[in-house]
Amino acid sequence: MSGWILALDASTSRSVLAIGQAGSPDLVSDVEDDSANQASARLQARIEALLGRAGVRARELTAIGCGRGPGTFTGTRVAVATAKGLALGLGVPIVPVSTLAALAASVPATRAVMPLLDARRGEVYGALFDTRAGDVVAGSPERCATLPDLLAAFAEALGDVPAHLVGPGVTVQIEHVPPGWVTSALPGPSDDGLWSATMAAHARGEAVDAADIDAVYLRQSYAELGVNTPKRKPFKSPFIAG
């Protein structure tokens, strides 16, 4: 576990880049919050700028950590495609990183962490993680459901101890948060959270060939379902008869 590693995630409105060396506390990062979810379009230029700031040449990279979702469909696709192109060009492996794991590692924890991402349609993406020992360990499968359904599914794993809910999904499901539970409505993973999740996956030997990484969506998009959901109501011109 030596050499430079670049990690990126664009599955939320907060896109994150981080570069460092395994085992070193020094991290150079670029975090951009964009509620319009357009930051992923600038990933290539931001990566080049980040490498310049870190004083690292691309050929010095030994692996690419990539947030593989779940999250926004476009941002996740762009991040995975960018990571694949870079890894293939450099001949290095990719470390697939759960965006939920990166989000869970973005807050200090004294209990189980349940990261929540807004999945729209009244649902959230969520899972349980334990980050208390300096690792990022999954405690449940990743699911797409309403918060009450997630709480019911994770009830046995949680027992009587409330989880720490973190992420943008907290806001959209706030009415379902049990009283007294700790919440952190972050817009997405932090640079430290992404880096911790990347290092944990790297240490577990989860690096793969660039051709073998796939985005994780947990459900089909509206386009895949064949559902047309226009963002604006139909408009009829008063100048057209009929």
Look at residue 241 in the predicted model and tell me its pLDDT. Answer: 47
Is the residue at 237 inside a domain? no
113 and 88 within one domain = no
CATH number for the domain that contains residue 36: 3.30.420.40
Q: Is the residue at 128 inside a domain?
A: yes
Least confident of 67-81, 193-207, 216-230: 216-230
208 DSSP 8-state letter: B
pLDDT at 227: 47
pLDDT of residue 225 exceeding 60, the answer is: no
Asked whether residue 94 falls in the same domain as residue 196, the answer is yes
Residue corresponding to tokens 């990743």:
142
Reported as a pLDDT band with limits 50, 70 and 90, residue 40 is low
Give the model's pLDDT for residue 205: 96
Mark whether 12 and 79 lie in a shared domain.
yes
The answer to whether the CB of 111 falls within 8 A of the CB of 133 is no
- Does residue 234 lie within any of the structural domains? no
Query: How many angstroms separate the CA atoms of 19 and 56, rounded?
Result: 9
- Same-domain check for residues 42 and 153: no
The residue range of the domain holding 9 is: 4-98+192-225
What number is the average pLDDT over the span 162-182?
95
Assess whether pLDDT exceeds 80 at residue 221.
Answer: no
Sort strands 14-21 and 4-9 into parallel, antiparallel or unpaired: antiparallel
**pLDDT, tens digit (0-9, with 9 covering 90-100), for 61-115:** 999 999 999 999 999 999 999 999 999 999 999 999 999 999 999 999 899 999 9
Question: How much is the pLDDT for 231?
Answer: 44
Residue in the block written with tokens 């690792």: 135
Confidence check: pLDDT of 222 > 80: no
Flag whether pLDDT at 38 surpasses 80: no
Lowest mean pLDDT of 124-138, 190-204, 221-235, name the range. 221-235
How many domains, in total, are found in the chain? Answer: 2
In a domain, residue 241? The reply is no
pLDDT, position 238: 41
198/157 same-domain check:
no
Q: Kindly report, residue by residue over 114-141, the tens digit of the pLDDT.
A: 999 999 999 999 999 999 988 999 999 9
pLDDT at position 220 is: 65
pLDDT band at 230 (very low <50, low <70, confident <90, very high): very low
77 Cβ contact list (under 8 Å, min separation 6): 215
Q: How confident is residue 39, by pLDDT bands cut at 50, 70 and 90?
A: low
Confidence tier at 235 by pLDDT (50, 70, 90): very low
In a domain, 17, yes or no: yes
Contact status, residue 94 vs residue 117, Cβ threshold 8 Å = no
CA 57, 59, 60, 66 dihedral sign is positive
For the beta carbon of residue 92, count every other beta carbon within 10 angstroms. Answer: 22
